[in-house]
Protein backbone atom coordinates (compact mmCIF):
# COMPACT_ATOMS: atom_id res chain seq x y z
CA UNK A 1 0.00 0.00 0.00
CA UNK A 2 1.29 3.44 -0.92
CA UNK A 3 1.62 5.63 2.17
CA UNK A 4 3.30 8.66 0.61
CA UNK A 5 1.59 11.81 1.85
CA UNK A 6 0.36 14.51 -0.52
CA UNK A 7 0.27 17.07 2.30
CA UNK A 8 2.48 17.72 5.30
CA UNK A 9 1.56 16.43 8.77
CA UNK A 10 0.94 19.89 10.18
CA UNK A 11 -1.26 21.09 7.31
CA UNK A 12 -4.42 22.86 8.58
CA UNK A 13 -7.65 21.29 7.32
CA UNK A 14 -11.07 22.74 7.93
CA UNK A 15 -14.06 24.47 6.48
CA UNK A 16 -15.78 27.82 6.43
CA UNK A 17 -19.18 29.46 6.84
CA UNK A 18 -20.49 32.94 7.53
CA UNK A 19 -22.94 34.29 10.09
CA UNK A 20 -25.81 35.37 7.84
CA UNK A 21 -25.57 32.19 5.80
CA UNK A 22 -25.80 29.69 8.68
CA UNK A 23 -26.70 31.20 12.04
CA UNK A 24 -30.40 32.01 11.87
CA UNK A 25 -31.76 33.47 15.15
CA UNK A 26 -31.85 36.70 13.21
CA UNK A 27 -33.64 38.71 15.86
CA UNK A 28 -33.01 36.65 18.95
CA UNK A 29 -31.29 37.54 22.23
CA UNK A 30 -31.00 41.21 21.37
CA UNK A 31 -29.44 40.90 17.91
CA UNK A 32 -30.00 43.99 15.79
CA UNK A 33 -30.93 43.78 12.10
CA UNK A 34 -28.21 43.71 9.47
CA UNK A 35 -28.39 45.09 5.94
CA UNK A 36 -29.17 41.56 4.73
CA UNK A 37 -32.18 41.28 7.04
CA UNK A 38 -33.42 44.43 5.31
CA UNK A 39 -32.33 43.54 1.77
CA UNK A 40 -34.11 40.18 1.86
CA UNK A 41 -37.44 42.02 2.15
CA UNK A 42 -36.94 43.30 -1.40
CA UNK A 43 -39.25 41.50 -3.74
CA UNK A 44 -36.70 39.68 -5.86
CA UNK A 45 -33.67 40.04 -3.61
CA UNK A 46 -33.34 36.36 -2.69
CA UNK A 47 -34.55 33.45 -4.77
CA UNK A 48 -37.76 31.80 -3.50
CA UNK A 49 -38.14 34.67 -1.00
CA UNK A 50 -35.47 33.11 1.18
CA UNK A 51 -34.50 34.80 4.43
CA UNK A 52 -31.77 34.34 7.02
CA UNK A 53 -34.30 34.08 9.86
CA UNK A 54 -33.56 30.41 10.50
CA UNK A 55 -30.92 29.43 7.89
CA UNK A 56 -29.14 26.35 9.36
CA UNK A 57 -29.91 27.50 12.91
CA UNK A 58 -26.28 27.10 13.88
CA UNK A 59 -26.99 29.59 16.67
CA UNK A 60 -28.87 26.82 18.47
CA UNK A 61 -27.31 23.74 16.91
CA UNK A 62 -23.64 24.65 17.15
CA UNK A 63 -22.81 21.74 19.45
CA UNK A 64 -24.22 19.30 16.94
CA UNK A 65 -22.19 20.97 14.21
CA UNK A 66 -18.97 20.92 16.19
CA UNK A 67 -19.49 17.20 16.85
CA UNK A 68 -19.66 16.59 13.08
CA UNK A 69 -16.52 18.68 12.55
CA UNK A 70 -14.72 16.68 15.18
CA UNK A 71 -15.76 13.45 13.55
CA UNK A 72 -14.41 14.62 10.18
CA UNK A 73 -11.21 15.61 11.96
CA UNK A 74 -11.07 19.34 11.24
CA UNK A 75 -8.19 21.34 12.66
CA UNK A 76 -9.96 24.64 12.04
CA UNK A 77 -13.38 26.17 11.60
CA UNK A 78 -13.67 29.55 9.91
CA UNK A 79 -16.86 31.42 10.79
CA UNK A 80 -17.84 35.05 10.83
CA UNK A 81 -19.29 37.17 13.60
CA UNK A 82 -22.59 38.94 13.08
CA UNK A 83 -21.54 42.44 14.07
CA UNK A 84 -25.15 43.37 14.91
CA UNK A 85 -25.41 40.41 17.29
CA UNK A 86 -22.57 41.91 19.34
CA UNK A 87 -23.41 45.59 18.78
CA UNK A 88 -27.07 45.71 17.74
CA UNK A 89 -26.67 49.29 16.48
CA UNK A 90 -23.14 48.75 15.18
CA UNK A 91 -21.73 50.86 17.99
CA UNK A 92 -22.56 51.73 21.58
CA UNK A 93 -23.25 49.13 24.22
CA UNK A 94 -22.19 45.53 23.69
CA UNK A 95 -24.97 42.93 23.77
CA UNK A 96 -23.85 40.41 26.43
CA UNK A 97 -25.94 37.57 25.00
CA UNK A 98 -24.50 38.15 21.54
CA UNK A 99 -20.86 37.97 22.58
CA UNK A 100 -21.69 35.09 24.86
CA UNK A 101 -22.78 33.00 21.88
CA UNK A 102 -19.39 33.44 20.22
CA UNK A 103 -17.58 32.63 23.45
CA UNK A 104 -19.57 29.41 23.74
CA UNK A 105 -18.92 28.53 20.12
CA UNK A 106 -15.16 29.11 20.53
CA UNK A 107 -15.12 27.09 23.77
CA UNK A 108 -16.94 24.21 22.12
CA UNK A 109 -14.50 24.23 19.21
CA UNK A 110 -11.45 24.41 21.45
CA UNK A 111 -12.76 21.63 23.68
CA UNK A 112 -12.95 19.48 20.55
CA UNK A 113 -9.46 20.34 19.35
CA UNK A 114 -10.63 22.72 16.59
CA UNK A 115 -9.05 26.16 16.21
CA UNK A 116 -11.52 29.02 15.65
CA UNK A 117 -10.68 31.23 12.63
CA UNK A 118 -12.82 34.33 12.97
CA UNK A 119 -13.90 36.65 10.17
CA UNK A 120 -15.02 40.03 11.47
CA UNK A 121 -16.92 41.15 8.41
CA UNK A 122 -18.63 38.80 6.01
CA UNK A 123 -21.07 41.31 4.50
CA UNK A 124 -23.76 41.65 7.20
CA UNK A 125 -23.30 45.25 8.27
CA UNK A 126 -25.52 46.46 11.14
CA UNK A 127 -28.48 48.15 9.48
CA UNK A 128 -28.21 51.15 11.80
CA UNK A 129 -24.79 52.01 10.32
CA UNK A 130 -26.21 51.85 6.82
CA UNK A 131 -29.10 54.09 7.71
CA UNK A 132 -27.12 56.64 9.72
CA UNK A 133 -23.90 56.85 7.74
CA UNK A 134 -24.48 55.23 4.36
CA UNK A 135 -22.49 52.21 5.49
CA UNK A 136 -19.01 51.93 4.00
CA UNK A 137 -19.52 55.13 2.05
CA UNK A 138 -18.40 56.91 5.17
CA UNK A 139 -15.20 56.79 7.19
CA UNK A 140 -17.35 56.83 10.34
CA UNK A 141 -18.28 53.26 9.55
CA UNK A 142 -14.60 52.34 9.30
CA UNK A 143 -13.97 53.84 12.70
CA UNK A 144 -16.87 51.91 14.20
CA UNK A 145 -15.53 48.76 12.59
CA UNK A 146 -12.20 49.24 14.34
CA UNK A 147 -14.04 49.78 17.66
CA UNK A 148 -16.11 46.65 17.14
CA UNK A 149 -13.01 44.58 16.34
CA UNK A 150 -11.19 45.96 19.38
CA UNK A 151 -14.03 45.43 21.86
CA UNK A 152 -14.85 42.00 20.52
CA UNK A 153 -11.24 40.83 20.54
CA UNK A 154 -10.94 41.95 24.16
CA UNK A 155 -14.18 40.24 25.13
CA UNK A 156 -13.09 36.95 23.56
CA UNK A 157 -10.23 36.87 26.07
CA UNK A 158 -7.70 34.97 24.00
CA UNK A 159 -10.06 32.26 22.77
CA UNK A 160 -9.08 32.96 19.18
CA UNK A 161 -5.82 34.02 17.57
CA UNK A 162 -6.44 33.52 13.85
CA UNK A 163 -8.41 36.31 12.27
CA UNK A 164 -9.70 37.54 8.94
CA UNK A 165 -10.60 41.21 9.01
CA UNK A 166 -12.97 41.24 6.02
CA UNK A 167 -14.19 38.75 3.47
CA UNK A 168 -13.99 39.33 -0.29
CA UNK A 169 -13.78 43.00 -1.09
CA UNK A 170 -15.35 42.58 -4.50
CA UNK A 171 -18.31 40.73 -3.05
CA UNK A 172 -19.19 43.29 -0.44
CA UNK A 173 -18.24 46.44 -2.34
CA UNK A 174 -18.87 45.93 -6.03
CA UNK A 175 -21.93 43.71 -5.64
CA UNK A 176 -23.40 45.80 -2.84
CA UNK A 177 -22.60 49.33 -3.98
CA UNK A 178 -22.14 49.09 -7.75
CA UNK A 179 -24.39 46.47 -9.29
CA UNK A 180 -26.83 46.20 -6.40
CA UNK A 181 -27.17 42.42 -6.34
CA UNK A 182 -26.06 42.18 -2.72
CA UNK A 183 -27.04 44.29 0.30
CA UNK A 184 -27.31 47.22 0.60
CA UNK A 185 -28.38 46.99 -3.06
CA UNK A 186 -26.98 50.35 -4.24
CA UNK A 187 -25.80 51.50 -7.65
CA UNK A 188 -23.39 54.30 -6.93
CA UNK A 189 -21.42 56.50 -9.30
CA UNK A 190 -17.88 55.48 -10.19
CA UNK A 191 -16.39 58.07 -7.88
CA UNK A 192 -18.55 57.09 -4.89
CA UNK A 193 -17.96 53.43 -5.56
CA UNK A 194 -14.18 53.86 -5.64
CA UNK A 195 -14.39 55.60 -2.28
CA UNK A 196 -16.28 52.65 -0.80
CA UNK A 197 -13.54 50.38 -2.11
CA UNK A 198 -10.93 52.52 -0.42
CA UNK A 199 -12.87 52.65 2.84
CA UNK A 200 -13.04 48.87 2.90
CA UNK A 201 -9.26 48.66 2.44
CA UNK A 202 -8.93 51.01 5.35
CA UNK A 203 -11.29 48.89 7.44
CA UNK A 204 -8.98 45.94 6.82
CA UNK A 205 -5.94 48.02 7.80
CA UNK A 206 -7.50 49.44 10.94
CA UNK A 207 -8.83 46.05 11.99
CA UNK A 208 -5.39 44.55 11.54
CA UNK A 209 -3.73 47.20 13.66
CA UNK A 210 -6.27 46.89 16.44
CA UNK A 211 -5.82 43.11 16.55
CA UNK A 212 -2.04 43.51 16.74
CA UNK A 213 -2.48 45.87 19.70
CA UNK A 214 -4.97 43.70 21.58
CA UNK A 215 -4.12 40.07 20.88
CA UNK A 216 -0.35 39.63 21.33
CA UNK A 217 -0.04 36.42 19.31
CA UNK A 218 -2.69 37.31 16.73
CA UNK A 219 -2.34 35.97 13.19
CA UNK A 220 -4.21 38.28 10.85
CA UNK A 221 -5.15 38.42 7.18
CA UNK A 222 -8.15 39.22 5.07
CA UNK A 223 -9.94 36.58 3.00
CA UNK A 224 -9.70 37.90 -0.53
CA UNK A 225 -10.99 36.62 -3.82
CA UNK A 226 -8.96 38.46 -6.45
CA UNK A 227 -9.52 37.84 -10.15
CA UNK A 228 -7.12 34.97 -10.81
CA UNK A 229 -5.18 34.32 -13.99
CA UNK A 230 -3.77 31.18 -15.51
CA UNK A 231 -1.19 31.60 -18.27
CA UNK A 232 -1.90 29.62 -21.42
CA UNK A 233 1.61 28.12 -21.26
CA UNK A 234 4.24 27.79 -18.57
CA UNK A 235 6.78 29.87 -20.45
CA UNK A 236 8.40 33.04 -19.11
CA UNK A 237 6.54 35.44 -21.41
CA UNK A 238 3.09 33.98 -20.69
CA UNK A 239 3.73 33.70 -16.95
CA UNK A 240 4.94 37.27 -16.95
CA UNK A 241 1.80 38.35 -18.83
CA UNK A 242 -0.34 36.58 -16.21
CA UNK A 243 1.50 38.39 -13.42
CA UNK A 244 1.05 41.78 -15.04
CA UNK A 245 -2.63 41.11 -15.70
CA UNK A 246 -3.12 39.99 -12.10
CA UNK A 247 -1.40 43.06 -10.67
CA UNK A 248 -3.34 45.51 -12.82
CA UNK A 249 -6.79 43.94 -12.71
CA UNK A 250 -6.61 43.70 -8.92
CA UNK A 251 -5.03 47.15 -8.64
CA UNK A 252 -7.73 48.64 -6.42
CA UNK A 253 -7.77 45.75 -3.94
CA UNK A 254 -5.04 43.17 -3.41
CA UNK A 255 -2.26 45.00 -5.27
CA UNK A 256 -2.95 48.15 -3.25
CA UNK A 257 -2.73 46.17 -0.02
CA UNK A 258 0.42 44.26 -0.95
CA UNK A 259 2.25 47.24 -2.49
CA UNK A 260 1.07 50.05 -0.20
CA UNK A 261 -0.57 52.18 -2.87
CA UNK A 262 -2.69 52.13 -5.99
CA UNK A 263 -0.80 51.16 -9.13
CA UNK A 264 -0.48 53.82 -11.83
CA UNK A 265 -2.62 51.79 -14.21
CA UNK A 266 -5.58 52.08 -11.80
CA UNK A 267 -5.07 55.76 -11.05
CA UNK A 268 -4.75 56.61 -14.73
CA UNK A 269 -7.84 54.61 -15.64
CA UNK A 270 -9.97 56.22 -12.91
CA UNK A 271 -8.65 59.78 -13.30
CA UNK A 272 -10.91 62.20 -11.39
CA UNK A 273 -12.95 59.27 -10.09
CA UNK A 274 -10.02 57.87 -8.08
CA UNK A 275 -10.69 57.73 -4.33
CA UNK A 276 -9.57 60.33 -1.83
CA UNK A 277 -6.68 58.92 0.18
CA UNK A 278 -5.73 60.51 3.48
CA UNK A 279 -2.24 60.64 4.98
CA UNK A 280 -1.42 57.46 6.79
CA UNK A 281 -4.12 55.35 5.09
CA UNK A 282 -1.70 53.17 3.20
CA UNK A 283 0.56 52.66 6.18
CA UNK A 284 -2.38 50.89 7.82
CA UNK A 285 -3.66 49.18 4.69
CA UNK A 286 -0.32 47.67 3.74
CA UNK A 287 0.85 46.60 7.20
CA UNK A 288 2.36 43.12 6.90
CA UNK A 289 -0.05 40.22 7.33
CA UNK A 290 0.81 36.93 8.99
CA UNK A 291 -0.64 34.91 6.16
CA UNK A 292 -2.74 35.59 3.10
CA UNK A 293 -6.26 34.14 2.97
CA UNK A 294 -7.37 33.37 -0.58
CA UNK A 295 -10.87 32.34 -1.61
CA UNK A 296 -10.22 30.46 -4.84
CA UNK A 297 -12.93 29.22 -7.19
CA UNK A 298 -11.97 30.01 -10.80
CA UNK A 299 -9.85 32.28 -12.94
CA UNK A 300 -9.28 33.61 -16.42
CA UNK A 301 -6.83 32.48 -19.05
CA UNK A 302 -4.29 34.96 -20.28
CA UNK A 303 -1.63 35.02 -22.97
CA UNK A 304 1.33 37.19 -23.83
CA UNK A 305 0.12 39.43 -26.65
CA UNK A 306 3.02 41.49 -28.06
CA UNK A 307 0.70 43.17 -30.56
CA UNK A 308 -1.57 44.73 -27.92
CA UNK A 309 -1.06 47.88 -25.87
CA UNK A 310 -0.97 46.07 -22.53
CA UNK A 311 1.05 43.21 -24.00
CA UNK A 312 -1.38 40.64 -22.66
CA UNK A 313 -4.77 39.33 -23.72
CA UNK A 314 -7.36 38.05 -21.24
CA UNK A 315 -9.72 35.39 -22.50
CA UNK A 316 -13.28 35.29 -21.24
CA UNK A 317 -14.16 32.82 -18.54
CA UNK A 318 -13.61 29.29 -19.63
CA UNK A 319 -17.13 28.13 -18.91
CA UNK A 320 -16.65 24.67 -20.33
CA UNK A 321 -17.43 22.43 -17.41
CA UNK A 322 -16.64 18.80 -16.97
CA UNK A 323 -19.32 18.90 -14.32
CA UNK A 324 -22.38 19.92 -16.33
CA UNK A 325 -24.78 19.10 -13.48
CA UNK A 326 -23.18 21.71 -11.26
CA UNK A 327 -23.24 25.44 -11.60
CA UNK A 328 -19.51 25.59 -11.36
CA UNK A 329 -16.63 26.76 -13.49
CA UNK A 330 -14.31 23.82 -13.18
CA UNK A 331 -10.72 25.07 -13.32
CA UNK A 332 -8.55 23.19 -10.87
CA UNK A 333 -5.35 24.75 -12.25
CA UNK A 334 -6.40 28.04 -10.69
CA UNK A 335 -5.24 26.95 -7.23
CA UNK A 336 -1.75 26.25 -8.52
CA UNK A 337 -1.51 29.32 -10.71
CA UNK A 338 -3.29 31.70 -8.35
CA UNK A 339 -0.92 30.86 -5.54
CA UNK A 340 2.18 30.73 -7.74
CA UNK A 341 1.57 34.13 -9.28
CA UNK A 342 0.92 35.77 -5.91
CA UNK A 343 3.99 34.05 -4.47
CA UNK A 344 6.19 35.29 -7.29
CA UNK A 345 4.81 38.81 -7.05
CA UNK A 346 4.78 39.38 -3.30
CA UNK A 347 6.15 36.40 -1.38
CA UNK A 348 3.49 36.25 1.38
CA UNK A 349 4.72 34.50 4.53
CA UNK A 350 2.00 31.87 4.25
CA UNK A 351 -1.06 31.27 2.14
CA UNK A 352 -4.23 29.74 3.53
CA UNK A 353 -6.97 28.77 1.10
CA UNK A 354 -9.80 30.38 3.05
CA UNK A 355 -12.53 29.13 0.67
CA UNK A 356 -12.86 26.71 -2.23
CA UNK A 357 -15.80 24.54 -3.19
CA UNK A 358 -18.81 24.02 -5.42
CA UNK A 359 -22.57 23.94 -5.25
CA UNK A 360 -24.85 21.23 -6.50
CA UNK A 361 -28.43 20.11 -6.03
CA UNK A 362 -27.36 17.30 -3.67
CA UNK A 363 -30.24 15.32 -2.23
CA UNK A 364 -30.33 12.15 -0.12
CA UNK A 365 -30.67 8.85 -2.01
CA UNK A 366 -33.15 6.13 -1.05
CA UNK A 367 -30.74 4.78 1.57
CA UNK A 368 -30.50 8.22 3.19
CA UNK A 369 -26.89 8.88 2.08
CA UNK A 370 -25.93 11.90 0.00
CA UNK A 371 -23.67 10.74 -2.86
CA UNK A 372 -22.16 14.05 -3.97
CA UNK A 373 -19.75 12.49 -6.42
CA UNK A 374 -19.21 15.79 -8.25
CA UNK A 375 -17.83 17.35 -5.10
CA UNK A 376 -15.43 14.44 -4.78
CA UNK A 377 -14.30 14.86 -8.36
CA UNK A 378 -13.89 18.59 -7.76
CA UNK A 379 -11.96 18.05 -4.54
CA UNK A 380 -9.62 15.51 -6.11
CA UNK A 381 -8.70 17.87 -8.93
CA UNK A 382 -8.39 21.08 -6.92
CA UNK A 383 -6.41 19.37 -4.17
CA UNK A 384 -4.02 17.83 -6.73
CA UNK A 385 -3.44 21.35 -7.97
CA UNK A 386 -2.82 22.55 -4.41
CA UNK A 387 -0.43 19.68 -3.76
CA UNK A 388 1.48 20.60 -6.90
CA UNK A 389 1.86 24.15 -5.62
CA UNK A 390 3.20 22.88 -2.29
CA UNK A 391 5.68 20.61 -4.08
CA UNK A 392 6.89 23.69 -5.97
CA UNK A 393 7.70 25.34 -2.64
CA UNK A 394 4.72 27.70 -2.44
CA UNK A 395 3.97 28.14 1.29
CA UNK A 396 0.34 26.98 1.43
CA UNK A 397 -0.32 25.93 5.03
CA UNK A 398 -4.06 25.36 5.20
CA UNK A 399 -7.26 24.68 3.28
CA UNK A 400 -10.75 25.64 4.50
CA UNK A 401 -13.48 24.18 2.33
CA UNK A 402 -16.53 26.23 1.42
CA UNK A 403 -18.65 25.13 3.01
CA UNK A 404 -19.16 23.02 6.08
CA UNK A 405 -22.95 23.06 5.67
CA UNK A 406 -25.41 23.69 2.88
CA UNK A 407 -26.50 27.25 3.57
CA UNK A 408 -28.10 30.46 2.37
CA UNK A 409 -26.23 31.33 -0.81
CA UNK A 410 -27.01 35.06 -0.73
CA UNK A 411 -29.28 36.07 -3.63
CA UNK A 412 -29.41 32.48 -4.90
CA UNK A 413 -31.23 31.37 -1.77
CA UNK A 414 -31.18 27.81 -0.51
CA UNK A 415 -31.14 25.96 -3.81
CA UNK A 416 -27.40 25.93 -4.33
CA UNK A 417 -25.93 23.49 -1.86
CA UNK A 418 -22.25 24.08 -1.08
CA UNK A 419 -21.88 21.87 2.01
CA UNK A 420 -19.85 18.84 2.92
CA UNK A 421 -22.88 18.31 5.16
CA UNK A 422 -26.42 18.20 3.84
CA UNK A 423 -29.05 20.29 5.66
CA UNK A 424 -32.72 19.40 5.57
CA UNK A 425 -34.18 22.90 5.86
CA UNK A 426 -37.51 21.57 7.13
CA UNK A 427 -36.19 19.49 10.02
CA UNK A 428 -32.70 21.05 10.27
CA UNK A 429 -31.29 17.53 10.27
CA UNK A 430 -27.64 17.31 9.14
CA UNK A 431 -26.30 14.45 7.01
CA UNK A 432 -22.55 14.41 6.31
CA UNK A 433 -22.27 13.78 2.55
CA UNK A 434 -19.95 11.32 0.86
CA UNK A 435 -17.54 14.23 0.41
CA UNK A 436 -17.34 14.61 4.21
CA UNK A 437 -16.14 11.01 4.34
CA UNK A 438 -13.66 11.73 1.55
CA UNK A 439 -12.43 14.71 3.56
CA UNK A 440 -12.13 12.62 6.71
CA UNK A 441 -9.88 10.14 4.91
CA UNK A 442 -7.87 12.97 3.41
CA UNK A 443 -7.20 14.39 6.86
CA UNK A 444 -6.43 10.98 8.36
CA UNK A 445 -3.97 9.91 5.67
CA UNK A 446 -2.69 13.20 4.26
CA UNK A 447 -3.39 11.69 0.84
CA UNK A 448 -5.86 12.41 -1.94
CA UNK A 449 -7.85 9.21 -2.43
C1 LIG B 1 -18.34 33.96 -0.33
C2 LIG B 1 -19.32 33.04 0.31
C3 LIG B 1 -20.16 32.37 -0.76
C4 LIG B 1 -19.23 31.53 -1.61
C5 LIG B 1 -19.92 30.73 -2.70
C6 LIG B 1 -17.71 33.44 -1.58
O7 LIG B 1 -17.82 34.41 -2.54
O8 LIG B 1 -17.38 34.38 0.59
O9 LIG B 1 -20.08 33.73 1.24
O10 LIG B 1 -21.21 31.63 -0.25
O11 LIG B 1 -18.26 32.35 -2.21
O12 LIG B 1 -20.48 31.52 -3.67
pLDDT at 318 over 70: no
Q: In angstroms, rounded to a whole number, what is the distance separating the alpha carbons of residues 340 and 237?
A: 15
**Is ligand 1 within 6 A of the CB of residue 409?**
yes
* Beta carbon of 6 within 6 Å of any ligand 1 atom: no
Mean pLDDT of 185-193: 97
- Beta bridge pairs of residue 80: 119
Q: Which atom of ligand 1 is nearest to the CA of 168?
A: 8
**pLDDT value of position 47:** 85
pLDDT reading at 135 higher than 70? yes
Q: What span, in angstroms and rounded, lies between the C-alpha atoms of 367 and 397? A: 37
Instruction: Tell me if 226 CB under 6 Å of ligand 1.
Output: no
| pLDDT bracket for residue 227 (50, 70, 90) | very high
pLDDT in tens, 10-63: 999 999 999 999 999 999 999 999 999 999 998 678 888 899 999 999 999 999
Expressed in angstroms and rounded, the spacing between residue 33 Cα and the centre of ligand 1 is 21
Q: Is the pLDDT of residue 205 over 90?
A: yes
pLDDT > 80? residue 258: yes
- Region at 102 (left for phi over 0; alpha for psi -120 to 50; beta for the rest): alpha
On the 0-12 / 13-18 / 19+ scale of CB atoms within 10 A, 215 is: buried
Asked if pLDDT for residue 386 goes beyond 90, the answer is yes
Find all residues with CB under 8 Å of 369, minimum gap 6, and list them: 431, 433, 434
Q: Tell me, what's the pLDDT at 19?
A: 98
Distance of CA 392 to the CA centre of its chain: 25
According to the model, what pLDDT value does residue 341 have?
Answer: 98
pLDDT of 77: 99
Please tell me whether residue 377 adopts helix, strand or coil conformation. Answer: helix
Provide the mean pLDDT of the chain: 96
Average pLDDT, stretch 141-146? 98
| pLDDT, position 444 | 97
Lowest mean pLDDT among 71-75, 171-175, 204-208, 366-370: 171-175
Mean pLDDT, residues 317-339: 78
Burial of 292 (0-12, 13-18, 19+ CB in 10 A): buried
For residue 271, the CA-to-ligand 1 centroid distance in Å is 31
What pLDDT, on a 0 to 100 scale, did the predictor assign at position 330?
A: 85
Given 23, 168, 224, 409, the catalytic residue: 168
Q: In the predicted model, what is the mean pLDDT of residues 122-144?
A: 98
Please indicate whether residue 409 is annotated as part of the active site: no
355 is catalytic: yes
Q: Ligand 1 centre and the CA of 189: distance in Å?
A: 25
Q: CB within 8 A of 351, min separation 6: which ones?
A: 291, 292, 294, 339, 342, 343, 394, 395, 396, 397
The reply to whether ligand 1 has any atom less than 6 angstroms from the CB of 137 is no
Least confident span in 2-6, 21-25, 164-168, 255-259:
2-6
Amino acid sequence: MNTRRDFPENFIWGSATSSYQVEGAAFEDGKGPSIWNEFEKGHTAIMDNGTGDVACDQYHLYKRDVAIMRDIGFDAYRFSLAWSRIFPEGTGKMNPKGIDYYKRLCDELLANGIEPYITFYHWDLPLALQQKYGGWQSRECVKYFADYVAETAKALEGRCKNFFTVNELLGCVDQGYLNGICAPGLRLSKKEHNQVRHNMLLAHGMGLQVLRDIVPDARVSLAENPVFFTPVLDTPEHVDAAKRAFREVNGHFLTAIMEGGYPDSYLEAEGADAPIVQDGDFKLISAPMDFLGLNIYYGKLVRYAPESEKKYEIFNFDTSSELPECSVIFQPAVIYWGCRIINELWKPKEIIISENGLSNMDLPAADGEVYDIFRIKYLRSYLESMSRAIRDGIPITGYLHWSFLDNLEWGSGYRRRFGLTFVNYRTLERIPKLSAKFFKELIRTGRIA
